[in-house]
Chain A
């Protein structure tokens, strides 16, 4: 049976490790940290985990509508391509740090990239 990306990466436990690493990078980045100032950290972490699980092809569904709804208020506060790129950059760095292979990183980044228009409500 062909393994999904999620399984190849190491499943749920691997995603847990990735989420903390990724979230720390986002929180200390002055370009984007202000979008997270008032968020509940546990809730935010759960959302990021759900997103990464999905981006890795794991058991989680996401629709464009969810993405739009979740980011609507942030877009109103000025969320744009530069912020999307910053977050995507942190995701890429996280995967590199975890020793994920280039080809897998490419797959994840293309899944993540496919959400751009929905995230930015275009």
Chain B
């Protein structure tokens, strides 16, 4: 059984526990959120002892070689000396350059990072408010075309970060960010595969970035983007996406509405249903899914049964519940 040395104490790791479980059982205050290896909030750094590979799977190379790992995925194999990662290692500063309301409950935040961020459109960053509140947002911007990072924020009832962004965030404000994270992005070497992009609500953000990336990379095969929402107000990039479809023969945009009022040019359907009605044989396709975990899981299964290999289905389920992280300070 492994012992965990954290700050000035040692904690006994039980057989089935992760590092995070052990620390929380001992009431050690460390930041965490999804507990599922997705949000990366619980990242710690190991200075002594072996780090299991599974706990570093989705961590950037630069952080991995520093010993950073995800405590929620880490089942220790031997004693470890661990600590919070140095903020300067992980965080960057960014300045808000614009906050634009795109719909009643959706706004676009633009950020200029102090240090250039090397990322792919479709990855995500974590925003840190000064009191320690952390939330993940996908990147809709395209590094080669946009100097700023672009995030789409949905205002959620009771959402601590989203309400604060809507009410208080103004251009000029500074935020800490960490990232980029995530493996949901366009692969330039796959320019000869058809792409199917399905997203609900602000799940459009990464898909918008991925579609622009593909088009800017001269993607050869068709790219189909299905965006689903309830009311037409939620089709917040309708104009931009229609213009993209006009400009590129191989790009189609299908706005889908699940509510009762469906204007001309929109489908009355859920996005995933419309997508599979149109495309039922997905062998060799790459599929990108973005929305609530329930939607993503259901759609992933349908895409797999329609012939897509599981490894070719990229998904980015967003967590919406307020699993507030313990403040860092």
Instruction: List chain A positions with a Cβ less than 8 A from chain B.
Output: 20, 23-24, 27-28, 41-42, 45
With A20-B309, A42-B310 known, 16 other A-B pairs at CB within 8 A are: A20-B304, A20-B310, A23-B304, A23-B310, A24-B304, A24-B305, A27-B301, A27-B304, A27-B305, A28-B305, A41-B297, A41-B300, A41-B301, A41-B304, A41-B310, A45-B310
Please report the C-alpha to C-alpha distance between residue A45 and residue B300 in the assembled complex, in whole angstroms: 13
Within 8 A of A (CB), among B242-299: 297
Q: How far is the CA of A76 from the CA of B301 in the complex (A)?
A: 25
Q: In the bound complex, what is the Cα–Cα distance between A74 and B301 (angstroms)?
A: 20
Q: In whole angstroms, what is the CA distance A41 to B310 when docked?
A: 8
Identify whether the interface residues of B are mostly helix, strand, loop, or mixed.
helix
- Range for the number of chain B residues in contact with chain A: under 10
Q: Which chain B residues border A28 with CB–CB below 8 Å? A: 305
A-B contacts, 18 listed (Cβ < 8 Å): A20-B304, A20-B309, A20-B310, A23-B304, A23-B310, A24-B304, A24-B305, A27-B301, A27-B304, A27-B305, A28-B305, A41-B297, A41-B300, A41-B301, A41-B304, A41-B310, A42-B310, A45-B310
Contacts of B305 in A (CB 8 A): 24, 27-28
Q: Report Cα–Cα, A66/B297, bound state, in Å.
A: 27
A contact face: mostly helix, strand, loop, or mixed: helix
Closest residue of chain A to B309 (Cβ to Cβ) is: A20
Bound: A28/B304 CA distance, A:
11
Question: Using Cβ atoms and an 8 Å threshold, which residues of chain A touch B301?
Answer: 27, 41
Give the number of residue pairs across the A-B interface with Cβ within 8 Å.
18
Closest to A46 in B: B310
Q: How far in angstroms is the closest Cβ of chain A from B283?
A: 10
Assembly CA distance A45 to B304 (angstroms): 11
- In the A-B complex, the 10 residue pairs with the smallest Cβ-Cβ separation, listed nearest first, are A45-B310, A20-B309, A24-B305, A41-B300, A41-B310, A27-B305, A28-B305, A20-B310, A42-B310, A41-B301
B310 contact set on A, CB distance < 8 A: 20, 23, 41-42, 45
The proximity string for B residues 212-255 relative to A, scoring 1 for CB distances below 8 Å and 0 otherwise, is 00000000000000000000000000000000000000000000
With both chains docked as a complex, state the minimum distance between the C-beta of A9 and any C-beta of chain B, in angstroms: 18
Q: Which B residues are CB-close (under 8 A) to A24?
A: 304-305
Rounded to whole angstroms, the CA-CA distance of A20 and B307 in the bound complex is 9
| Bound Cα distance from A100 to B301, whole angstroms | 27
Complexed CA–CA distance, A28 and B300 (Å)? 14
CA distance A24 to B302 in the complex (A): 10
CA distance A42 to B263 in the complex (A): 38
The smallest beta-carbon distance between A98 and chain B, in angstroms, is 15
A27 to B310, CA, bound (A): 13
Residues of B within 8 A of A23 (CB): 304, 310
Neighbouring A residues of B309 by C-beta, 8 Å: 20
A57 CB to closest chain B CB (Å) equals 24
B75 CB to nearest chain A CB (Å): 15
Nearest-neighbour CB distance to chain B for A8, whole angstroms, equals 23
B307 closest partner in A (C-beta): A24
The interface residues of chain B lying within 8 Å CB-to-CB of A27 are 301, 304-305
Docked complex Cα distance between A28 and B302 (Å): 10
CB-CB under 8 A from A41, the residues of chain B are: 297, 300-301, 304, 310
Report the minimum CB–CB distance from B310 to chain A (whole Å): 5
* Min C-beta distance of A32 to chain B, whole Å: 15
Give every chain B residue within 8 A of A42 (Cβ-Cβ).
310
A107 to B305, CA, bound (A): 28
Give the docked Cα–Cα distance between A42 and B301 (Å). Answer: 10
A33 CB to closest chain B CB (Å) equals 10
Q: What distance in Å separates the Cβ of B309 from its nearest Cβ neighbour in chain A?
A: 5
A90 CB to nearest B CB, Å: 14
Nearest residue (CB) in A for B313 is A41
Minimum Cβ distance to chain B for residue A13 (Å): 12
Q: How far is it, in angstroms, between the C-alpha of A91 and the C-alpha of B297 when the chains are bound?
A: 24
Whole-angstrom CA separation of A79 from B170 in the bound complex = 57
Closest A residue to B310 by CB, please name it.
Answer: A45
How far apart sit A24 and B308, CA to CA, in the bound complex (Å)? 10
Contacts of A20 in B (CB 8 A): 304, 309-310
